[in-house]
Amino acid sequence: MTELAAVKAALKSQAVETPSWAYGNSGTRFKVFAQPGVPRDPWEKLADAAKVHEFTGVAPTVALHIPWDKVDDYAALAKYAEERGVKLGAINSNTFQDDAYKLGSICHADPAVRRKALDHLLECVDIMDATGSRDLKLWFADGTNYPGQDDLRERQDRLAEGLSEVYRRLGENQRMLLEYKFFEPAFYSTDVPDWGTAYAHCLKLGEKAQVVVDTGHHAPGTNIEFIVATLLREGKLGGFDFNSRFYADDDLMVGAADPFQLFRIMYEVIRGGGFTPSVAFMLDQCHNIEAKIPAIIRSVMNVQEATAKALLVDREALDAAQRSGDVLEANAVIMDAYNTDVRPLLGSLREEMGLDPDPMAAYRRSGWAEKIVAERVGGQQAGWGA
């Protein structure tokens, strides 16, 4: 296989999971702007997600969020998805929207609240059994707003205990992906604020516990690709929640704020052996003001472009430059790949896959946007609250 063929083969094998909630409404604490045509239930979300896969060819699974995507019959939901060409992906828990969780969930001082949260997490594993999902993605909004509000260390003890109970419940082929976040919604301390904390917990839990890197969940200036390289080296990178940010957890389209960073991340993924199904590549974004389906198509394409560039890095030349201490040449090798316009390559790849080379245009022409606006009238649009 030629090198270019290998690059194309890798790109064809790529799978980016889109999140059901990104098809619904979202916003900031100031305002959620509703958009016409937004899904009103999990079925409609899956129908939209199927469109993203139809036009990109690399978005074959859809992550669910419980309880937002709760249905009576998950087998029917899975079948509905498969009929449209996609599968159900990771199950995302929610321990932040019940009134009981004002001061935390599995880190709460009150054992009754912890129990409630744990029962929800265990229910999520039940749902995984029903959907055939491999991954339980855990993000905890737990934390405190004021110094002294709660005992930082005891909260870690409670966290460890809770995670341990969920871990024991996991089936043989199931995993727990623990997400960390620098801040928000907690404003003084967050109970899993950084990769180190997530790593330390996962290490004790065992092999099925892996860290998930949300690219918007770091302190300003953090070198995220270093974390990726380190977690891969430790065998503890379970996946990504992709999005981009200029300031905080902005949840913009991945690659929109710093495409060079996304490329560097994808380079470390590939270099570290992480471009395999054991690392889940998921989007986790909010399309507050832009049209949702095309924004997700664009995001998937952005991941593809970054991946293509990362695959094009001349590893031999890079290695030679690095070993000889030629700083400028080593950097030039990386930049040469980054500066390549990979859009023609991806266009031809799509044609080989039987797709339109321009997914955005193809989606626009498909009439889906107009159709859902016309048909999805009445009812309650999906959003973070439902």
Both structure tokens of 221: 């200036």
**CB 188 → its own copies: shortest distance, Å?**
6
Number of Cβ atoms within 10 Å of the Cβ of 151: 13
What is the separation of C-alpha 69 from the centre of its chain, rounded to a whole number of angstroms? 17
**CB 11 → its own copies: shortest distance, Å?**
16
Amino acid at 125: V
For 60, which DSSP code? -
**CB 77 → its own copies: shortest distance, Å?**
25
**CB 57 → its own copies: shortest distance, Å?**
20
**CB 146 → its own copies: shortest distance, Å?**
4
Question: Could you give the CA distance from residue 158 to residue 328 in angstroms, rounded to a whole number?
Answer: 49
Amino acid at 8: K
Burial of 76 (0-12, 13-18, 19+ CB in 10 A): exposed
Write the DSSP assignment of 104-162 as a string of letters: -STT-SSHHHHHHHHHHHHHHHHHHHHHT--EEEE----EESSTTSS-HHHHHHHHHHH
**CB 102 → its own copies: shortest distance, Å?**
5
Residues 193/180, Cβ–Cβ less than 8 Å: yes
Question: Could you give the CA distance from residue 88 to residue 207 in angstroms, rounded to a whole number?
Answer: 23
Smaller CB separation from its own copies, 26 or 92: 26
φ/ψ of residue 367, rounded to 5: 80, 0
Smaller CB separation from its own copies, 150 or 241: 150
Smaller CB separation from its own copies, 81 or 198: 198
Smaller CB separation from its own copies, 220 or 277: 220
φ/ψ of residue 163, rounded to 5: -60, -40
Smaller CB separation from its own copies, 248 or 374: 248
Amino acid at 372: I
Smaller CB separation from its own copies, 81 or 256: 256
Task: Tell me which residue of 220, 347, 359 sits closest to 300, measured CA to CA.
Answer: 359
Smaller CB separation from its own copies, 171 or 196: 196
Residues 284/241, Cβ–Cβ less than 8 Å: yes
Contacts of 54 (CB under 8 A, 6+ apart): 85
**CB 344 → its own copies: shortest distance, Å?**
10
Smaller CB separation from its own copies, 63 or 330: 330
- The residue assigned the tokens 């002294």 is 148
Amino acid at 171: G
Burial of 191 (0-12, 13-18, 19+ CB in 10 A): buried
**CB 173 → its own copies: shortest distance, Å?**
27
Cα distances (Å, whole numbers) of residue 170 to 66, 134, 163, 241: 17, 10, 11, 21
**CB 116 → its own copies: shortest distance, Å?**
15
Smaller CB separation from its own copies, 3 or 157: 157
